[in-house]
Amino acid sequence: MLLLQFSTSHYCRKARLALGYKQIDYDVQNLTPGIHTLKLKPLTGLTTVPVLLPQLKQQPSAIGDSTEIFKFLETYQPSPPLLLPDVKQQNEAWMLEDWLDESMGTATRFVYYDFRAKEGKQIDPSLFSQLVIQVVRRQYGINTAAVHLAAQRLQRGLEVLRYRWSESAYLVGESLSVADLAAAALLSPLALIPQYRQEYPWLFERIVQIHHLCGEPLPPGLR
């Protein structure tokens, strides 16, 4: 299998966690932001990574979107499972996964790129890196007001996760699910921001544990 990705994308990390958890061999191809659409559009009709190319007979040629990749991997190789045996719990896990994708993952992007353009500039002050950050900020409309709202949304969401992960090792049910993987990947960029490291140490402990379970190298800030 081949994973088309941006090496720094937290949504691509999410796909890698699932591939790693299921111990599926795969290669990665890092695309160049900007010209990535030329490759992706004909494959999936989308412009986003991750895209998985199973490269197997009688399987789809390309799967776009990290949630669709989860679903494909679960059908392709059900064990170890990322779905819960109880249907009600599994529905809850998908609901959390979708919330993490659409709300927490995008809020993380806003807060992270704002940090990288300001206090976190020294992480990579190179012209290229700062140019990419500015392009991303413009592409997603990352400005002071939007970042403030994103930070508020993260604060509320992290309370939900704190409560769930303090009750049990898993966000839903008694085993690792799509919800845990989505949280571990999509919140991982916050590890570079000192304020989050100080306020949410339990979050980063759990992110590290889940990466170990999936055999995935730790994200920047936690290495």
Ligand X SMILES: N[C@@H](CCC(=O)N[C@@H](CS)C(=O)NCC(=O)O)C(=O)O
Residue numbers at the binding site for ligand X (CB under 6 A): 6, 9, 11, 37, 47-50, 65-67, 101
In the numeric block, which tokens belong to residue 76?
């392709």
Q: For residues 32 and 79, which CB has a smaller minimum distance to ligand X in the complex?
A: 32
Residue matched to tokens 């402990």: 205
Strands 2-5 and 27-30: parallel
What is the DSSP secondary-structure string of 48-116? PSPEEE---TTS-S-EESHHHHHHHHHHH--SS-SS-SSHHHHHHHHHHHHHIIIIIHHHHHHHHHHHH
Q: For residues 100 and 210, which CB has a smaller minimum distance to ligand X in the complex?
A: 100
Q: For residues 83 and 182, which CB has a smaller minimum distance to ligand X in the complex?
A: 182
**CA 210 distance to own-chain centroid:** 12
Q: For residues 40 and 83, which CB has a smaller minimum distance to ligand X in the complex?
A: 40
Cα–Cα distance for residue pair 28/178, rounded to 1 Å: 21
Q: For residues 45 and 198, which CB has a smaller minimum distance to ligand X in the complex?
A: 45
φ, ψ for residue 28, nearest 5 deg? -120, 150
Q: For residues 26 and 162, which CB has a smaller minimum distance to ligand X in the complex?
A: 26
Q: Is 175 left (phi over 0), alpha (psi -120 to 50) or beta?
A: beta
- Find all residues with CB under 8 Å of 110, minimum gap 6, and list them: 140, 142, 146, 147, 150, 151
Q: For residues 6 and 26, which CB has a smaller minimum distance to ligand X in the complex?
A: 6
Least distance CB 116 / ligand X (angstroms): 14
Cα–Cα distance for residue pair 198/14, rounded to 1 Å: 24
Least distance CB 103 / ligand X (angstroms): 11
Q: Is 88 exposed, middle or buried (0-12, 13-18, 19+ CB in 10 A)?
A: exposed
